[in-house]
Structure 1
């Protein structure tokens, strides 16, 4: 059963990435884009986190990053698979609600709208929240320290990107966004 969940989670990520790419083709034209420098740092952190999580170059084979933190047993793997699925579904929900305003880079789109419904009533950055939940679930399945460190590094990249988004939204929507920020937490409901 553990192998089935592992395979299912792999295919969930593949399907998610393909869907994400295809949905991005329908985005509105950008009228303001973040600087290349800030995007480079955020992207580098996310790529480093992914490399750590999935040990892409098999360069971590010993040391504290290779320590098995969670046992590979059915309850842990099922819980991780459930979190992965829930996080990815939350992302897709947020992406559907955001519609053509979405972009992989921080942008202001032509006729940009401030979306306050659906998962955006729960957190201001539900795509990052969903991805972090999904990545945490996948890290549980992997169970090795490097996977959890990878989630942390990716989370840092998302946090930096969210700070840039916050500035763009404040500039574009002013007091309306200030009010939204006071009512809705950024990444974790009722906490952060």
Structure 2
């Protein structure tokens, strides 16, 4: 039994979350145009090392109709409050990720990339954490996982966290090489993903 079976919450669960995430993807694609030229890009093996756990994590969260015993058990009761709270958390996470994407502007890329005239951005959302796009997406997926309510979704969020940690480790190697002491100072005062924690 999933939140889809709840008479009042079924429509919210069935339609709102796909609309939120598809809208996010559409905005992301639109914002991807017009970035700076690429000076250096990670190789295919490096990309696979973070794309594979990311994809598996998203499938576990987004496809609750595919059985994955014993992870189909619930970690929250079957009720409307997890769906509603999950929706609010998802919206907040998506909004934070979009804010960070707009802030970094032409320096952004989907792969680990060094751009021509790459700038070190340390203000706006980047003053809160070094990788606020990952923070926002992870927070949004955690909200969606809460609405799903099954352990499979918790594992999915954990896998996305592993993917982001792997990717940010690669990114930080590039940033430290490019920006040296300036990046070291930035990293010393700003956490990677969770303010004041991680």
Which bracket does the TM-score occupy, shorter chain normalised? over 0.9
CA–CA distance in 2 between the matches of 1:72 and 1:5? 14
Query: Structure 1 runs of 4+ off > 6 angstroms?
Result: none
For 1:51, the equivalent position in structure 2 comes to 59
Q: Deviations over 1:91-140 (max 9, x none)?
A: 00000000011100000111110111111000000000001100000000
The residue that corresponds to 1:22 in the other structure is 30
Counterpart contact for 2:64–2:148, Cα < 8 Å: no
Distance 2:62 2:24 in 1: 17
The total of aligned residue pairs comes to: 190
Aligned to 2:5: none
Q: TM-score, normalised by structure 1?
A: 0.95
1:189 alignment partner, SS class: coil
SS at match of 2:50: helix
> Who is 1:124 aligned against?
130
Residue 66 of structure 1 aligns to a residue whose secondary structure is coil
Could you tell me which of 31, 42, 49 is aligned with 1:34?
42
RMSD across aligned positions (CA): 1.3
Which residue does the alignment assign to 2:4? none
Task: Please list every run of 5 or more consecutive structure 1 residues that lacks an aligned counterpart in the other structure.
Answer: none
The aligned residue for residue 142 of structure 2 is 136
The question of whether the paired residues in 2 share the 8 Å contact of 1:72 and 1:141 is answered with no
Specify every segment of 5 or more residues in structure 2 that has no aligned partner in the other structure, as ranges.
1-7
Task: State the secondary structure of the residue aligned to 2:78.
Answer: coil
Equivalent pair of 1:45/1:154 in contact (CA under 8 Å): yes
| Structure 2 residue aligned with 1:105 | 111
